[in-house]
Structure formats: C-alpha cells, structure tokens
Amino acid sequence: MNNVVKHSSSLKSKNGQHIVRIRDVEVGAKRIVIMAGPCTVEDRENLLMTAISVREAGALVLRGGAYKTRTSPRSFQGLGETALRLLAEAREQSGLPIVTEITDHTDLPLIAKYADMLQIGSRNMQNTVLLKAVGRCRLPVLLKRGFSNTIDEWLSAADYILDGGNDQVVLCERGIRTFETSTRFSLDILSVPVVKRKSRLPIIVDPSHAAGNRDLVIAVSRAAIAAGADGLLVEVNCNPYEAKVDGKQTITTEQFSDLMRQLKAIACSVKREL
Amino acid sequence: MNNVVKHSSSLKSKNGQHIVRIRDVEVGAKRIVIMAGPCTVEDRENLLMTAISVREAGALVLRGGAYKTRTSPRSFQGLGETALRLLAEAREQSGLPIVTEITDHTDLPLIAKYADMLQIGSRNMQNTVLLKAVGRCRLPVLLKRGFSNTIDEWLSAADYILDGGNDQVVLCERGIRTFETSTRFSLDILSVPVVKRKSRLPIIVDPSHAAGNRDLVIAVSRAAIAAGADGLLVEVNCNPYEAKVDGKQTITTEQFSDLMRQLKAIACSVKREL
Amino acid sequence: MNNVVKHSSSLKSKNGQHIVRIRDVEVGAKRIVIMAGPCTVEDRENLLMTAISVREAGALVLRGGAYKTRTSPRSFQGLGETALRLLAEAREQSGLPIVTEITDHTDLPLIAKYADMLQIGSRNMQNTVLLKAVGRCRLPVLLKRGFSNTIDEWLSAADYILDGGNDQVVLCERGIRTFETSTRFSLDILSVPVVKRKSRLPIIVDPSHAAGNRDLVIAVSRAAIAAGADGLLVEVNCNPYEAKVDGKQTITTEQFSDLMRQLKAIACSVKREL
Amino acid sequence: MNNVVKHSSSLKSKNGQHIVRIRDVEVGAKRIVIMAGPCTVEDRENLLMTAISVREAGALVLRGGAYKTRTSPRSFQGLGETALRLLAEAREQSGLPIVTEITDHTDLPLIAKYADMLQIGSRNMQNTVLLKAVGRCRLPVLLKRGFSNTIDEWLSAADYILDGGNDQVVLCERGIRTFETSTRFSLDILSVPVVKRKSRLPIIVDPSHAAGNRDLVIAVSRAAIAAGADGLLVEVNCNPYEAKVDGKQTITTEQFSDLMRQLKAIACSVKREL
C-alpha cells in the first residue's frame, strides 16, 4: 500500500536469502532458530540450569538481559556486567552463543567483550544514536520492532544499521500496542509475510511479550513458524514463578520442551527444520 | 487480565467441545472447516464456477454476500434477493451449504428461506437489535469480531445471541484496526487461544479482510490453523480481478487449491483434519 | 492527507454556513448550542427536575435515552416508549426540544411521534440500514462518530443521510478508542477543525463519553468550544450517583451551571454566543 | 481508572503549584508560556529573523533543533554544535532563553554550555539512559510524551528525572498514534486535565506535531489553553515553505501573531495571562 520508501534491506543479495551468523548459528537458512532463556539474568544457578535445559530441548541461542529499559525507575534495572559474566559462563557450559540487550552506546565496548549478538529493545527502536553505534560494530544485531512503529519505520531503523556498514541484522516482531486488553500486546502476525516481501532480512518472533501470559505462548509460537518466521525469541526459566521481571509470560523448561516438540511438526509442514 | 465478565459461552457444555452444525457440516470438531467463495455475489456464471471449484479443492461451506454494509452510499450495495437465489442455485450444484450476511433484522424471514448460516458483519457486531433477532431464530450464526472491539465485547455480543436461545454461534476473527498501514487491518492471532480459554464457542479466522492483499492470505491462513482455529472464511473468486468489491484481497481458485494443500500439512501437525 | 473522497457535505451551501434546525433552535449559527440531560431516562421525577435545571442554566436542547445499545444483554436496555412519553412531558414542562437515540429503523414511526431530533449512536455509525432510514425522514439527525472510525468514514456515513434527501445533520465527536486507559476514550479534538475544513455540517462535541469521569468534563468542554465546536452534548443528572447507566461520567446540575458560566467566557473569546 | 502507580510528581509541593524556571521565565505560574521557533535550525538569517519575530509577538522561549531523531538515516539529522552556536546568538539578539533537544547523553556537557532547557523528544521518552543523565544535571527539562505511551508511563518517565534529583520538569503533550489518518497524530486533549489531577508538574502542548498541518494549529492551540495547559511549544518559521524538516506543520510568523492575539482572549477567559 505505502511501499514508497526504498529500504537498504530491500536490495536483493546475490544468492537469494540473506543469512545472519551468530557464531556458527545461521538465521535465515532452512533451519528454524530458537533463542531461549530468562528475561533478565537474576541468579547464577537459575541461569545455568535454564541454559542447559533449553540447549537440551533444541534451542540454538541463549537469551538473557543484563541491562534493562524499565518503565519505572523503581523497577529492577538488571545486574549489568555481573550478568554479562554469568552469561559468558552459561555459554561455556551450554555451548550456546548469547544474545543480550544494549541500551547505551557507551556500553558497547564492554558488552561486545561478552555478547555474540546485540539486541535493540522495542523502546529503543528509534534511538538513532544507538542504531548508528551498532551499525559501526561487527556483531550481529537483533532489532525488535517498536511496539507502536509501522513496518516501514522498522525497516528504516534497520537502514540505520545497514547504512553504517553492518548487514548482520535480524528483525524481531514482538507485538504492537492496540486497544485490546486481554493480552499485553497484539502480535502482528501479518508482519511476517509483509517483511518477507519487503526485505531480505531474516525475521523472528517474540511470542512472550505479545502474549503477556505463558499459557498463550505455545499457540502463538506455532502460528509464527507457520506464517514463515525464521525463528523465535522465547522467555524460558526453570523457575519463572520467582522471576523479578516478566515471570507471568515466561514458560517453564517443561513447557519449552513441549513447545519444541510441537514446533518440529509445524516446521516440517512448512518445509523447514528445527 | 480483565476476565471479570461472565459470558454465557464460558459455561462448559456437557461433552466438552461445543459443536455448531451448518446442515451436516460440523464446526468445532476435529475437522477444520473452510468456508470459501466470492466477497459479494455479482454474476451467476462466476458464482457457480467458483462454487464448484472451491468444493473440489475441499471447502465445506460456500460464502457469498447479498446484502452489504459499505462505507459509502455510492459503493455497490449487493444484489439482495437476486443474490440469494443465485446462492441457492450454487448450493444445489455444488452441494455446499451457504453462509451469507444479514444487515437488517426485517430481512430475516427472506434470508432464512435461502441461507444455511447467517453472518453478522464486523460493523454490525454491536447492532444489538440484529443480535437479538438472530438469537430468536434457529439458524447457526457466524459472528465476526468488530474491528475495534475487545474480545470481551465480542463474547458479550455472542451473549445476546446465546441468551436469546440460539447457541449455534461460530466466532470469526477478521483483524482489528491499528496504526499499521501496510495491511488493511492487523490480524489479532492471539485472539484464537484467548477465545479458546474464555469460551466454548468455535472460532474461525477470516484472513482476507485483515490482509487486504491476496499475496498475504496463504501465510496468515497457515498461522490461523496453527494457532488452533477451527476453520477459515476465505474470499475466493475464479476471476477476482474484475470483482466490484474487495478483489484485491480475494485469492484465485488456483491459489485456493494451493492454500488447501498447505493447510492439510498444518492441520495434520496440530492433530486436526482437513 | 487522504481527502480523496468527495463528500456530499463538502458542497458549499449558498449562504455559507449550513444551519440545522431543531424546532426553533439553530445549530451552526453564532450561538453555541448546549444539549444536556441524563444518559438514559430512568425516572420521571429525576428527568423533570434535570430538564428544568439545565434549561435554567442555559441548555437549549434536552437529551435522554429511551433505547440503548449496551455491550452486554444483561445491562439495562432503556425504557422504550415509556421513556419517550416522559421526554415529551419534560419538553412540555421545560420548553426544550428533545433529542433521543434510535437503534432500530422499525422504531422510526414511533420515535418520530415524540422526538425533535434523532440520534445515531457511535456503535451504529455504520449501520447503513438505519442511516438510510433516517435519510428518508424529515427530522434532524445527530450523527455520532463511531469510536473507531476515521473522519472520512464519518462523513461517508453522513452521506448516507444526505444522499437520502435529509440535509439536517449535525456531527458529534465523542472520543475514539486508543491505547490510553486513564480515560474511557480519547477525545479527538483535532476532528473539530478538520471537519470544519472538509464539511459544511455543524459539529458538536460529547465530552462525557470521552472522559468517562465527571471531573474531566468541564476542562474538555472548554477545549471543544475553543477549538470551534458549534455546541456540546453533555450528560447531566440532578442525581448522577444513582443512575443505572454512565453515572460516573455524568455531571451534576450544579457542575452544569458552573460549566455554563465558564463556557460563556470561552464562547465570547472565540466570538460566539452562549 | 488505573492510578495504582505512585509517581514522584504526585507529591504535593509546599506552596501548591510547582514552578519550573527557564532562566527568568516561570512555567506553571499564572502566565501562559509560549515557546516558539523553527523545528530545526537550518540557516542563521532565518533563525535570527524568526527569533526576533516570535519575541515581538509575545513568545517567552525560543525553540530550535540541533540534534534530531529522524525515522530514516537519509533524512537531515541536524547541524549539531553549529546549530547550538546559532541558537546562542539568537538568544543574545532576542533575549529569549532557548530550549533544544538532546538525543545522546554524551552530548550533555556540550549542549549544557548553550541550552537553557533540555528537550527529550517523543521517541526518547523511554530512553532511560538519557532520562537518568538529565536527572543528574541542573537544567530544566521538557519531557515530551511518547506518541504511544500512556499517561502513567509518561509520569514514570518523569520519575526517572525527578528521582535523579532534578525536579525542574515540564511535560509536553504532542499527540498520540491512532488509526486516524487525516492528521499526523491525534492530540490527546484529555491528557491536560488528567495530568493536572495526577501530577504537580506543569504541562504544555505541542500543537504542531499532532496536527501535521499548519492550518489546524491555531484551533488546537486555543483548545489546549482552554483545557488548562500552562503553555505551548509551537513550530514557527519566517519561511516554513523551504524548511527541510516539518515545514508543512510550521506556521508563519504572521500566523503566529494571529495565534497570540487569539490566545490572549482564551487565556483571559480561563483567568490566565499571556
């Protein structure tokens, strides 16, 4: 309808599909990539147990927050470098590369020492200072959609990174803000095929933030893969009931194993692998 | 989150899943029900060809509009009883029961002579006069979600029909109005699992109105079935390029055959049949 | 931006501003027209007292609901003809013409016996059967904006009435549905100057439904008149605390007197009268 | 409705209304404060002429952008320190204190050398790194509402600044994102009285970004003051037709003089001064 903007990511790559590499994990290839882990790193034991557990169930990347953008200054803001060190330890033990959020461009040298992929959160999607900074580095970037940004604005945010010289960008749909109140956000499932038509960048889906409720996560994860997503970013915790952040929407490691079983069937039905 | 309202449809039926019958087609059972056909009945030849074609591809119900709710008074308003007669002829030739929209409660005696299922459109979801009227009749009702109504308001609209004595109601998610402009509406995929948890009524998805573009219909149809929907309502036309209404979002009969093939795999992966 | 639709109301009337007459009250002229009264007619005594009171404070039209469109079938649905008779009695005692909502086109002969102006509610703005019916009658119509309809869709709804032969249409902005939850709806104040530029129809504002809270009504009423609105539709009740419908957003008769005093100053500052 | 969050700004100040000082200009006192100037500083001559002109018409603060947050990386990103120096020169010539946007916390030392007030733009309202930084400095802050943030989230963003030790915060409503397309954003006029009830911070309104069209600016500016706003932030340019950024919504200096005349009458009618 309104595809007047020419995005950098709309350029066709020479060999078709554009692949983003997180160490030896490829996003955008035939294999569906599941990134899983706790919302925020809060506790060493918990992180290591969760990491091992999601790896065994088939996750390929470990997620975990060290720096958070919280609505209120009185909410837990993350453990910072302590969390980064724990993530590195979890990587060593599980073998999974790690993705973690960056909220301040001056943290980049520090975070780059630990992370395998940088995440730009929804509230920072139009933080152009941050976008330019990660555009100048060589780590892959997971760019979440702003919860009230159009798909074209999202692709323009990706342009900031691509135009800076970093083409290792994975998009992540995580739900948009609407009038509906029975879910935390409304997952815009149509964004998956729309992005596939407008851009060569891989796109994954975060079912957890949209749902806001762990009992809805599995159904909408199936839908995401069926719609053509290249992967998922799921909040998983071996004990979500005591998490300080987003526990209500975080699935247990048992639910995650069930999710992976169900996704295998869906992936196969859309000729992908898991 | 806000499940304070006690809806009539939240009562558990004696034998679990609630089944709605359109002649001998069951909605809410293991078999996925695909309802297909032109947006609006415009031409006899076209309707009959489309009906035969969707039947052969596996559709179980024929859709077609006789009375329309158009934004502007200068838009085509439907052929009325002429369309109803053509739908009856198409039923005879294809063997498919027909679902058609009712916009005026005084049309009920006339439409009831022809239709096997009554559709309440999105713009009439809170037309309580109409809801009460269909609640008093014995035909099954397809209740589309108002494009700016919450799930709770939708279930309250269903209450008008159920409380009137008619429990043969199928819900239909068709997209909600948001700020996104690259699609006509945003399909609220999370409504499928939310409704499944709040209500015993079957729920189907209309991918065509949400997408507003035929090239997005197949991907989002797969997602709907993967999310747990009991069926689809799809706009199909053997010649959508000349349709007066919604041609842009209507898939061809060839695309419909492809859709059905893809859905078979998805249905199987969620332990349903097609 | 998107003014491609040519609306019937955009035609220039011969002598500039288009005037709508409710008996001898003119809407769209220099004088600001305040329509006030209870949300729903529930009680004779209460209605008569409220009517006298708002008349004395300067209201020119009495509002009161007889037929209601409620979200749930278990909510109070209005007193019907009993309410119409009470409104007629209140008109006799107060001298104020009455505006009341119509929800079913088959009620038109009955309501037309009592009402001086017909109101189309927000949920019926795209009930085209109803729009066509009031387009054929000779009573002035108050057309509320659908809470999720664009200004262009609203003017198209007015086209249904105008094209039917009835040009006595007053538009009423009453708030749109957004993500904000601290008010019931978000009053789209920009719709006032936009409508003034796109249409010759008078426009008034309903501050009560947007605010959803009586303590916000006065401030936003001042804003509406300052923005150029031709009047207000305000919910007033001499005892709102016991009202079955919308009591929380209904101001008292004392608050109404205060409102009128404040509006007089605002009206004067925009060269209007009250 | 949802006032469960206890905001720092809800604490009552000892002597009632909280005043924010921009040099010798007081925001939150009886006098309405108009901040005016070009969207972005592009040209010395133009800036100086505009500054003198708005001062003569009654503006008390000069606005002008040096660092911008643009949707696309290919859009003009502002002149940076060059613009800051021009703003300082304009302050010297006009006598008006200057407000300018900060988008990167590492720019704070530089910007603080020039600016009298720091502006946090809509897209940075939840950039908590930036909020914390301005919370540690002693300059007053103009905090724009995120275009998709609730009023409670906005007050929580202000908490980041207040809790850091800086209570010199002025809130600025600038329109929220909705489905309406005939304006750029929808100005949430109800936010003015809601904020007045929830917070002791002054609130001003930016009519330009909401309207997106200069012909709507005056009407909605009147509404803002009538609703109780403590001031306005208006885009004014002696030659908006050649501005690289937001020219369409920028009023001319002639329109600004007319606006000020009209606001004088409105201010008086709500017992304020201009």
How high is the pLDDT of residue D246?
A: 85
Side-chain half-sphere of C29: how many Cα atoms within 13 Å?
A: 12
- Nearest chain A residue to D132 by CA distance is A73
Q: What is the DSSP letter of C273?
A: B
Q: What is the largest CA-CA distance in chain A?
A: 50
Instruction: Tell me which residue range forms the domain holding A143.
Output: 20-69+76-269
To the nearest whole Å, the CA of C2 is away from the closest chain A CA by 13
B13 within a domain of the structure (yes/no): no
Number of domains in chain D: 1
How high is the pLDDT of residue D17?
A: 75
C13 within a domain of the structure (yes/no): no
D227 within a domain of the structure (yes/no): yes
Most confident of A237-251, B60-74, B82-96: B82-96
Question: Does this complex have an ipTM over 0.90?
Answer: yes
pTM, two decimal places: 0.95
Give which of B71, B122, B153 to mutate to test C binding, by max C Cβ within 10 Å. Answer: B71
Q: φ, ψ for residue A21 (rounded to 5)?
A: -110, 125
What confidence tier does A1 reach under pLDDT thresholds 50, 70, 90? very low
C: neighbours with 3+ CB pairs under 8 Å? A, B, D
Contact of B112 with B99, CB cutoff 8 Å: no
Check residues B76 and B141 and name the one with the higher pLDDT: B141
Token pair for A19: 């692949």
Q: Give the pLDDT confidence of B3-25 residue by residue, as tens digits.
A: 456 898 886 554 567 999 999 99
Q: A123 to chain D: which residues are within 8 Å by CB?
A: 126-127
CB pairs under 8 A between C and D: 146
Residue A190 and residue B220: Cβ atoms within 8 Å?
Answer: yes
Q: In whole numbers, what is the pLDDT of chain A averaged over residues?
A: 94
Q: What percent of chain A has pLDDT over 70?
A: 96
Q: In whole numbers, what is the pLDDT of chain B averaged over residues?
A: 94
| Terminal-to-terminal C-alpha distance of chain B | 34
How high is the pLDDT of residue A16?
A: 66
Strands A25-27 and A20-22: antiparallel
Mean pLDDT within A217-246: 95
**Partner residue facing B150 (CB), from A151, A179, A196:** A179
Give which of A148, A179, A180, A181 to mutate to test C binding, by max C Cβ within 10 Å. Answer: A179
DSSP symbols for B201-270: S-EEE-HHHHH-SHHHHHHHHHHHHHHT-SEEEEEB-SSGGG-SSSGGGPBPHHHHHHHHHHHHHHHHHT
Q: In whole numbers, what is the pLDDT of chain D averaged over residues?
A: 94
pLDDT at D2 over 70: no
Contact of A63 with A18, CB cutoff 8 Å: no
Token pair for B159: 């209450």
D85 within a domain of the structure (yes/no): yes
CATH of the domain at C22: 3.20.20.70
What confidence tier does C6 reach under pLDDT thresholds 50, 70, 90? confident
C98 within a domain of the structure (yes/no): yes
- Number of residues that this document lists for chain A: 274
B: neighbours with 3+ CB pairs under 8 Å? A, C, D
Q: Which residues contact B104 (CB under 8 A, 6 or more apart)?
A: B67, B130, C105, C129
- Nearest chain B residue to D176 by CA distance is B179
Residue D126 and residue A123: Cβ atoms within 8 Å?
Answer: yes
- Nearest chain B residue to A208 by CA distance is B190
Mean pLDDT within B127-145: 97
B6 within a domain of the structure (yes/no): no
Contact of C41 with C234, CB cutoff 8 Å: no
Q: Give the pLDDT confidence of C181-228 residue by residue, as tens digits.
A: 999 999 999 999 999 999 999 999 999 999 999 999 999 999 999 999
Q: C179 to chain A: which residues are within 8 Å by CB?
A: 148, 177-179
B3 within a domain of the structure (yes/no): no
A4 within a domain of the structure (yes/no): no
To the nearest whole Å, the CA of B179 is away from the closest chain D CA by 5
- Number of residues that this document lists for chain D: 274
How high is the pLDDT of residue B244?
A: 87
Number of other residues whose CB lies within 10 A of the CB of residue B106: 13
Number of other residues whose CB lies within 10 A of the CB of residue A112: 15
Check residues A168 and D17 and name the one with the higher pLDDT: A168
To the nearest whole Å, the CA of B124 is away from the closest chain C CA by 7
Token pair for A55: 């790896």
- Residue type at position B265: A
* Rounded (5°) CA angle A105-A107-A110: 140
Among A68-82, B171-185, B207-221, whose mean pLDDT is lowest?
A68-82
pLDDT at D34 over 60: yes
DSSP symbols for A144-175: EPPTT--HHHHHHHHHHHHHTT---EEEEE--
How high is the pLDDT of residue A2?
A: 42
To the nearest whole Å, the CA of B33 is away from the closest chain A CA by 18
To the nearest whole Å, the CA of C99 is away from the closest chain D CA by 26
**Partner residue facing B177 (CB), from D148, D177, D179:** D179
Q: Give the pLDDT confidence of B233-248 residue by residue, as tens digits.
A: 999 999 999 888 888 9
How high is the pLDDT of residue A12?
A: 58
